[in-house]
Structure 1
Amino acid sequence: MSSTSDIEALIELMAKLPGLGPRSARRAVLHLIRKRSLLLTPLAQVMQDVAATARECLNCGNVGTSDICDICESEKRANGELCVVEDVADLWAMERSGVFKGRYHVLGGTLSALDAIGPQELRIPRLLDRIAMENVTEVILALNATIDGQTTAHYIADQLDGQVTLSSLAQGVPIGGELDYLDDGTITAAMQARKSL
C-alpha cells in the first residue's frame, strides 16, 4: 500500500466521523500532516491508548477506562438522585453544565416500535435493579423531547410509579432564545410550563 493510499484511507475514515464530510476530513488530515509532531503523532498514540482501554461502565453505561466509572465510584454522588439519559453524549452534556451532582443511568437509546427496540434492548431492567439496590429517592428523566423519548419516559414512569419521586427536565424557551426562531412545539411547551413571577 502506498503512502498516498494510506492518506486517502485516513481521509475516508475521518469523513465517517460526525460533523465531518469528505472536504472537512481532507482539510483535517492535511492539517494533521503539516503538524505531524505536534498533532498527528500524539493523536495516533492517544487513539491507540483509548482503543485499548475504553470500556462501558458496568453500573451506569458511561464510557471510561475502568469497569466502574468515576461518577459511580464517587461517594459524594451517592445522594439518592439518579438522572436517566438516552446516550453517553447526553451524560457528558449534563456534566459540562455542572448543575447535577448525583449519579446517572444511560439507557443506550429509546423505545421504538418501528425499530423493534423494547425495554430489554435498552438498559431499563438494569435501571430498575439500581433503584432497588442503591437507595435512590429521585429519578430525573432527562430524555430528548421526541416521540420516542417521551414514550420511553412514560414507560419508565409507569414502571417506577410509587417507588421514587419522578421528575423531568423543563422544556421551553432556551436562555438567550428569541421567540421568532423557535418552532411551534417549543413555544407550546414553554407556554404550558409557564411560571408566575
Structure 2
Amino acid sequence: MFVGPELDRLIALLAKLPGLGPRSARRAALALIQKREALLQPLAAALEAAAAAIRPCSVCGNLDSTDPCGTCADDRRDRSVICVVESVGDLWALERAGAHRGLYHVLGGTLSAIGGRGPEDLTIQQLLRRVAGGGVSEVILALGATVDGQATAHLVADRLRPLGVAVTRLAHGVPVGGELGYLDDGTLAAALKARRPA
C-alpha cells in the first residue's frame, strides 16, 4: 500500500504508542485524517501544548505543568507518608483508586540486569534525601510483584532502614473477586504468606 511520506510517518509514530500495532496505527491515522477538524487539528494543538508545558516534578517525579506538581503542592495530603512507585502510570493508577492520600515518589523504573538498569539509574538517592529531610514516618513500597520489582523493593528498604522510618509494602495475593482455582501458584503462595487474622 502506497501512502505519502507524511501519512507514513504519522502511522509509524502512532505504532510506537503502547497498545497500538501497525494495523491499529493505520486505523487511528485514517480516523484522524478523515476527521481533520474535529480530531487531528485539536490533537496536534494539544500535543504541542503538552510538549511545551508538561515536565517531571522536581520533588516526586510526577508529570504536571507546575513544579512542584499539584499532588506535592496539595496541603490536604498526609506529608508523613510517601508511596514509592515504579512509574507515573502507577502513580496515576493509585490516584484513580483514591486509596492513598499521602505523597508519592516515582523511581523511574526498577532494577534490571537484563535492561542494564542499576540503582544509579533510579531516583533512590532523591528519595533518601526526602526522607532524611524529616517529617516522613512511613514509606510504602508499591512496586510490582515481578522479580525486578521485588529486588528493587528489597534494595530501597535496605537503604531506608538506617533512616528510622517504617517501611511497608503492598499486600500480594488473592484479588477481590478472584477464585482460587484460577490463580497461579505464585499468587496463592503469596496470599498464604500474607494471611492475617479473620
Q: What count of residue pairs does the alignment treat as equivalent?
A: 196
CA gap of 1:134–1:32, structure 2 versus 1, over 3 A, is farther
Give deviations 1:133-152, integer Å, cap 9, x for gaps.
14111100001111111111
Give deviations 1:20-64, integer Å, cap 9, x for gaps.
001001111111122222111111100010011111111111111
Tell me what 1:5 maps to.
Answer: 5
Alpha-carbon offset, residue 179 of structure 1:
2.4
Give me the whole-angstrom Cα distance separating, in 2, the residues matched to 1:31 and 1:177.
38
Alpha-carbon offset, residue 112 of structure 1:
2.7
Tell me what 1:57 maps to.
Answer: 57
Q: Are residues 1:90 and 2:85 paired?
A: no
Counting aligned pairs with the same residue, the percent is: 55
Tell me what 2:35 maps to.
Answer: 35
- Which stretch has the larger CA shift, 19-28 or 113-122? 113-122
Alpha-carbon offset, residue 114 of structure 1:
4.0
| 2:147 counterpart letter in structure 1 | I
Alpha-carbon offset, residue 157 of structure 1:
1.2
Give me the whole-angstrom Cα distance separating, in 1, the residues matched to 2:114 and 2:38.
47
Compute the RMSD of aligned alpha carbons: 1.7
Alpha-carbon offset, residue 191 of structure 1:
1.7
Alpha-carbon offset, residue 115 of structure 1:
3.8
Tell me what 1:191 maps to.
Answer: 192
Tell me what 2:142 maps to.
Answer: 142
Unaligned runs of 5+ in 2: none
Give me the whole-angstrom Cα distance separating, in 2, the residues matched to 1:114 and 1:41.
41
Give me the whole-angstrom Cα distance separating, in 2, the residues matched to 1:128 and 1:23.
45
Tell me what 1:47 maps to.
Answer: 47
Give me the whole-angstrom Cα distance separating, in 1, the residues matched to 2:20 and 2:113.
31
Tell me what 2:25 maps to.
Answer: 25
Tell me what 1:171 maps to.
Answer: 172
Unaligned runs of 5+ in 1: none
Taking the TM superposition and a 5 Å limit, the aligned residue runs for 1:87-166 are 87-161=87-161, 163-166=164-167
CA gap of 1:13–1:156, structure 2 versus 1, over 3 A, is same
